[in-house]
């Protein structure tokens, strides 16, 4: 049963009971409708209270029904609100907790609303590329005023109920409860039971003293942010309709806009990302009720670029961290960097002094492995050198308490080998953070061949606690993200040889929506890192083709922003990438040397060679079982590599483009004598899906 019905002192109480957030799924909607009918028929009932069980009134649509016929089956939400409005007895929404999306629209359809303080209230549809579709844009301005309502609708952000109750002239809440909400609501219902006519939000007036000017102002304000997202502008349009049009006409337009947005690729991409994030936290062969290990204290080994950022994540979450280094100077430098980062946040007003002090007080340092013996999770972030990792993991094995989790932040080394340095490979796992580790959302959680299920489940939970998007990866060179990016960068190199400039490649992919093209990205990360990796890689696989231009660049000492020169020139203290004549000459010289006559390459070819390189390597990762699902790969690229959110990630993009067409494009690329034909052989999974007319999802 997803609703309950009972009658107390002549008041019918309908309680939504569909955990975790009382989503308005089919059974819940049906339950509410049945409850309303029962209450009408019962002569002893004077009024009706609608409330939620647990921590929510209602979080809105039931996401497990998304896309299924149940989601729109009657009574749908609009019908349900109609039934409430038509009720001969007053219906009071008793808003006990989370009130969002369809949940708020349902409450707005009730005759009265009583709320508990501290309840988050929101219309978050814009975040999945939609507008509210059950009257939210028409009713909320009528109770909150145009400006407060539009702020909520355009941002999708929650506002606390007491903050809304304090707004002058608001009609959202008829009463706030300061004790037992249900008792307050029952008392209120008894008071108003006889009042007629019943008030309806749809009948309230709505206006703004300078509507045209105000809406134009908001439109300008969101223009940059909403460039690639149609929904925010549609929110404004629909709220403006509430002022211009009769209520029923405004409702009709709202629904039409909602349905139109449902079909847009941007909303599809946002909804895909929404579900992908949830899916990524589930591991098919690890039950969700696996008991977790307790993690109360963290140790970080290595206080360099990554170690410092990793430590900050845990300090921010209120967990004590001890950092170990080989030398005191390195420790001091590491602590100073963390402090500097926090002080920068303080100056920007993002952190208060007392919070800063609290976080720094949670941090301790040591040169002695013995001091790590009480840590529950020990994360190594020392030099990327297998011998150094061996020393560190042997030392950790000596001192760590039984059951402690031993994690490595390695980006390229074999995690199974690292685990074998210890006598407890079941406790070893990879936690691959991205730089800057305190900022980037992505955490690749690397599951070794011996990693215990509860270690994996615990690290996924800890990752969530430090607000990362965790994606599980198997062990391979580069894991999911870097293994794919290597193919993307290889294509970028070929494009230079065949006739592009770095700025042409960057511009094309940035226009596609990437935050940064491959050459600007390499300049930021440091071109020497790739150089180092290539030396190793091509020693092991001399037959692998790649463009030598990146090596020639490093031989010129152009390591990127840190040396003031890379693929681009940089002026001191500035980050603007300026085209470099020297680099152009280097590329031209290299072309002559290998005998390629440059050709003009269209942006479309640039974009698809780069993106389909990701797709093909991604499909191989799925074939090999390194990645669990295509949507995990999308999450890696959306949260770690600047792939445009409104395109939903490489695999989702390929699905939308059509896998058959993707394979056809790959066949064209393979026929190019300067490219790597072997690479463009479609991965078995991709070939099969394309042949069967299917998609990754």
Active site residues: 105, 125
d(CA 638, CA 614): 13
Residue 551: CB minimum distance to ligand NAD, A: 20
Residue 412: CB minimum distance to ligand NAD, A: 6
Phi and psi based region of residue 571 (left: phi greater than 0; alpha: psi -120 to 50; beta: remaining): beta
* Cβ-based nearer residue to ligand NAD, 40 or 416: 416
d(CA 139, CA 145): 10
Say if residues 423 and 395 touch (Cβ distance below 8 Å): no
Report cis status (omega within 30 of 0) of the bond before 197.
yes
* Cβ-based nearer residue to ligand NAD, 249 or 332: 332
Strand blocks (E) in 565-658? 568-569, 578-579
Task: Write down the residue that tokens 């011998």 correspond to.
Answer: 387
522 binds ligand NAD (CB under 6 A): no
533 binds ligand NAD (CB under 6 A): no
Residue 382: CB minimum distance to ligand NAD, A: 4
* Cβ-based nearer residue to ligand NAD, 304 or 499: 304
* Cβ-based nearer residue to ligand NAD, 79 or 435: 435
Interface positions, 369-388, toward ligand NAD (CB under 6 A) = 381-384, 388
Counting residues that bind ligand NAD (by CB under 6 A) gives 23
Q: What is the dihedral of CA 555, 556, 560, 566, to 10 degrees?
A: -120
> By Cβ distance, which residue is nearest to ligand NAD?
304
Residue 39: CB minimum distance to ligand NAD, A: 60
Phi and psi based region of residue 264 (left: phi greater than 0; alpha: psi -120 to 50; beta: remaining): beta
* Cβ-based nearer residue to ligand NAD, 439 or 678: 439
The pair of three-digit structure tokens given for residue 570, joined into one six-digit string: 């940089």
307 binds ligand NAD (CB under 6 A): yes
d(CA 616, CA 173): 54
Say if residues 639 and 432 touch (Cβ distance below 8 Å): no
Residue 384: CB minimum distance to ligand NAD, A: 4
The pair of three-digit structure tokens given for residue 182, joined into one six-digit string: 């249900």
326 binds ligand NAD (CB under 6 A): yes
What are the helix (H) ranges across 281-319? 305-316
325 binds ligand NAD (CB under 6 A): yes
Residue 397: CB minimum distance to ligand NAD, A: 14
Range in contact with ligand NAD (rule: CB under 6 A) among 245-253, 304-312, 340-348, 537-545 = 304-312
Q: What is the dihedral of CA 202, 204, 210, 216, to 10 degrees?
A: -20
453 binds ligand NAD (CB under 6 A): no
Which residues, listed in sequence order, are joined to residue 429 by a DSSP beta bridge?
407
Q: CA angle at residue 473 from 470 to 478, to 5 degrees? A: 110
Which residues, listed in sequence order, are joined to residue 471 by a DSSP beta bridge?
444
Residue 682: CB minimum distance to ligand NAD, A: 30
Closest CA to 270 of 649, 697, 659: 649
Say if residues 421 and 455 touch (Cβ distance below 8 Å): no
Strands of the sheet with 112-115, listed across from one edge:
3-8, 11-16, 47-52, 91-95, 112-115, 175-176
3-class DSSP assignment, residue 80:
helix
d(CA 419, CA 425): 5
Distance of CA 112 to the CA centre of its chain: 36
Q: Out of 40, 305, 316, 366, name the contact with ligand NAD by CB under 6 A.
A: 305
Q: Give the 3-state DSSP-derived string for 369-400, with helices as H, strands as E and coil as C.
A: HHHHCCCCEEEECCCCCHHHHHHHHHHHHHHC
435 binds ligand NAD (CB under 6 A): yes
**What mask of x and - would describe binding to ligand NAD in positions 391 to 430, judged by CB under 6 A?**
xx----------------xxx-------------------
* Cβ-based nearer residue to ligand NAD, 289 or 387: 387
Residue 554: CB minimum distance to ligand NAD, A: 17
301 binds ligand NAD (CB under 6 A): yes
Residue 163: CB minimum distance to ligand NAD, A: 40
Range in contact with ligand NAD (rule: CB under 6 A) among 109-117, 251-259, 319-327, 592-600 = 319-327
Q: How many residues does the chain have?
A: 697
**What mask of x and - would describe binding to ligand NAD in positions 70 to 99, judged by CB under 6 A?**
------------------------------
What is the end-to-end Cα distance of the chain in Å, rounded? 32
Report cis status (omega within 30 of 0) of the bond before 75.
yes
323 binds ligand NAD (CB under 6 A): no
* Helices 353-361 + 328-347 axis angle, to 10: 160
* Cβ-based nearer residue to ligand NAD, 294 or 332: 332
* Cβ-based nearer residue to ligand NAD, 366 or 681: 366
* Cβ-based nearer residue to ligand NAD, 244 or 575: 575
d(CA 509, CA 522): 14
> Residues 6 or more apart from 483 whose CB is under 8 A from it?
476, 477, 617, 621, 626
* Cβ-based nearer residue to ligand NAD, 231 or 330: 330
* Cβ-based nearer residue to ligand NAD, 306 or 407: 306
* Cβ-based nearer residue to ligand NAD, 211 or 326: 326
3-class DSSP assignment, residue 443:
strand
> Residues 6 or more apart from 348 whose CB is under 8 A from it?
none
Range in contact with ligand NAD (rule: CB under 6 A) among 10-18, 22-30, 298-306, 499-507 = 298-306
Closest CA to 470 of 482, 478, 461: 461
Residue 383: CB minimum distance to ligand NAD, A: 5
Residue 510: CB minimum distance to ligand NAD, A: 21
Residue 303: CB minimum distance to ligand NAD, A: 5
List of residues contacting ligand NAD (CB under 6 A): 301-307, 324-326, 330, 381-384, 388, 391-392, 409-411, 433, 435
């Amino acid at each position: 049963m997803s609703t309950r019905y009972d009658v107390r002192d002549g008041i019918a109480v309908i309680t939504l009971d569909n955990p975790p957030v009382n989503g308005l799924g089919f059974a819940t909607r049906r339950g509410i409708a049945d409850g309303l009918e029962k209450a009408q028929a019962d002569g002893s009932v004077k009024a009706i209270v609608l409330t939620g069980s647990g921590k929510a009134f209602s979080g809105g649509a039931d996401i497990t029904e998304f896309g299924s016929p149940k989601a729109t089956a009657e009574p749908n939400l609009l019908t349900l609100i109609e039934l409430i409005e038509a009720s001969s007895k007053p219906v009071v929404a008793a808003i006990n907790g989370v009130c969002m999306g369809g949940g708020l629209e349902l409450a707005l359809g009730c005759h009265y609303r009583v709320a508990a303080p501290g309840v988050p209230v929101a219309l978050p549809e814009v975040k999945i590329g939609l507008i509210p579709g059950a009257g939210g844009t028409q009713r909320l301005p009528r109770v909150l005023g145009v400006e407060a309502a539009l702020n909520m609708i355009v941002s999708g952000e929650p506002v606390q109920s007491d903050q809304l109750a304090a707004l002058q002239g608001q009609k959202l809440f008829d009463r706030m409860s300061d004790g037992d909400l249900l008792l307050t609501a029952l008392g209120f219902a008894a008071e108003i039971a006889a009042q007629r006519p019943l008030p309806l939000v749809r009948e309230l007036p709505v206006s703004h003293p300078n509507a045209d000017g105000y809406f134009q102002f908001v439109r300008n304000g969101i223009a940059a942010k909403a460039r690639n997202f149609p929904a925010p502008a549609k929110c404004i349009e629909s709220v403006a309709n509430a002022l211009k049009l009769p209520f029923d006409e405004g409702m009709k337009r709202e629904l039409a806009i909602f349905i139109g947005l449902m079909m847009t690729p941007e909303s599809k991409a946002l909804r895909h990302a929404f579900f992908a994030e949830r899916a990524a936290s589930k591991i098919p062969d690890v039950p969700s009720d696996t008991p977790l290990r307790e993690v109360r204290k963290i140790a970080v080994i290595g206080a360099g670029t990554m170690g410092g950022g990793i430590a900050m994540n845990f300090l921010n979450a209120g967990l004590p961290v001890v950092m170990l280094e080989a030398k005191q100077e390195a420790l001091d430098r590491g602590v100073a960097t963390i402090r500097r980062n926090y002080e920068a946040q303080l100056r920007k007003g993002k952190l208060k002094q007392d919070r800063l002090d609290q976080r720094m007080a949670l941090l301790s340092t040591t040169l002695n492995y013995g001091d790590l013996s009480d840590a529950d999770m020990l994360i190594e972030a020392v030099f990327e050198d297998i011998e150094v990792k061996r020393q560190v993991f042997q030392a950790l094995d000596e001192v760590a308490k039984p059951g402690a989790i031993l994690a490595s932040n390695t980006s390229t080394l074999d995690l199974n080998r690292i685990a074998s340095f210890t006598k407890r490979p079941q406790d070893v796992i990879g936690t691959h953070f991205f730089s800057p580790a305190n900022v980037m959302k992505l955490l690749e959680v690397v599951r070794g061949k011996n990693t215990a299920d509860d270690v994996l489940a615990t690290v996924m939970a800890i990752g969530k606690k430090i607000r990362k998007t965790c994606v599980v990866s198997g062990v391979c060179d580069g894991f999911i993200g870097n293994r794919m990016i290597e193919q993307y960068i290889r294509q970028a190199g070929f494009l230079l040889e065949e006739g592009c400039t770095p700025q042409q490649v960057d511009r094309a992919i940035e226009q596609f929506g990437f935050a940064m093209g491959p050459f600007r990205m390499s300049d930021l990360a440091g071109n020497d890192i790739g150089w180092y990796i290539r030396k190793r890689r091509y020693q092991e696989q001399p037959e692998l083709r790649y463009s030598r231009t990146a090596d020639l660049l490093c031989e010129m000492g152009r390591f990127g922003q840190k040396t003031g020169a890379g693929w681009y020139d940089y002026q001191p203290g500035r980050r603007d990438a300026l085209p470099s004549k020297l680099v152009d000459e280097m590329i031209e010289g290299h072309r002559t040397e290998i005998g390629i006559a440059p050709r003009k390459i269209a942006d479309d070819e640039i974009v698809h060679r780069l993106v389909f390189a990701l797709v093909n390597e991604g499909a191989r990762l799925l074939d090999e079982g390194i990645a669990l699902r295509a949507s995990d790969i999308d999450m890696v690229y959306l949260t770690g590599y600047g792939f445009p959110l409104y395109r939903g990630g490489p695999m989702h993009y390929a699905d939308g483009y059509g896998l058959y067409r993707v394979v056809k494009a790959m066949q064209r690329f393979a026929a190019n004598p300067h490219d790597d034909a072997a690479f463009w052989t479609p991965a078995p999974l991709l070939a099969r899906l394309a042949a069967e007319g299917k998609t990754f999802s």
